[in-house]
Amino acid sequence: MGKDCNGDCKKIVKKESKYMEFDEKGIALGNTTEDKKQRKRFITFFYKMWEIENPQKRIFNKSLKDFINVKHISIKETTGQASHRYISTLAITFLTEILENAIQKGLPQNTNSQKDNQKGFEKIIIMEYIKQELGRIKLTVGIKRGTKEKVQYCITAIENG
């Protein structure tokens, strides 16, 4: 979990099948349904640990010159998306670094009216962060209706190549 985990994320592995293969952080490496379920649990646990270390649940982003807040929707959407692939789950372990250093790509876009999870946002900002070991990481930030508060919506690794 990058500098955010301090090794605590390995504790969740104790409940998992002895036949699953894990990396040194305790993230399942395979692509089975059980691996994906384990990664969901890992991400949820990671966010709980992150929130203890970051009780304000927000990080100042240099590119936006504003805070990006982590809310329930951040955890729900990221858990659902990032758990599909090992590399995306691994990217979550660099949450603070991503929130702080991601760079805005293009202008804010309108939300997708077909996605219920985006209904509380008036616009979506696509951001990107390059992590040496992982490549490109996509950070999606929602701008809340009314308050204009910026909220982390989702984080996923982008396939390189």
Structural contact between residues 69 and 149, judged by C-beta atoms closer than 8 angstroms: yes
Q: Is the pLDDT of residue 129 over 60?
A: yes
Q: Which residue type occupies 42?
A: F
Structural contact between residues 109 and 124, judged by C-beta atoms closer than 8 angstroms: yes
For residue 32, what is the DSSP state? S
Q: What is the sign of the dihedral through the CA atoms of 5, 49, 129 and 79?
A: positive
pTM: 0.86
Domain that holds residue 148: 2-157
pLDDT per residue over 29-52, tens digit each?
999 999 999 999 999 999 999 999
Please state, rounded to an integer, the average pLDDT across all residues of the chain: 89
pLDDT per residue over 73-119, tens digit each?
999 999 999 999 999 999 999 999 999 999 999 999 998 888 888 88
Burial 48-74 (b: 16+ CB within 10 A, else e): ebbeeebeebbbebebbeeebbbbebb
Task: Count up the domains in the chain and report the number.
Answer: 1
User: According to the 3-state scheme, what is the secondary structure of 92-129?
Assistant: HCCHHHHHHHCEECCCCEECCCCCHHHCCEEEEEEEEE
Q: Is the pLDDT of residue 17 over 60?
A: no
Q: Which residue type occupies 131?
A: K
Compare 14 and 39 and report the one with higher pLDDT.
39
Q: Is the pLDDT of residue 2 over 90?
A: no
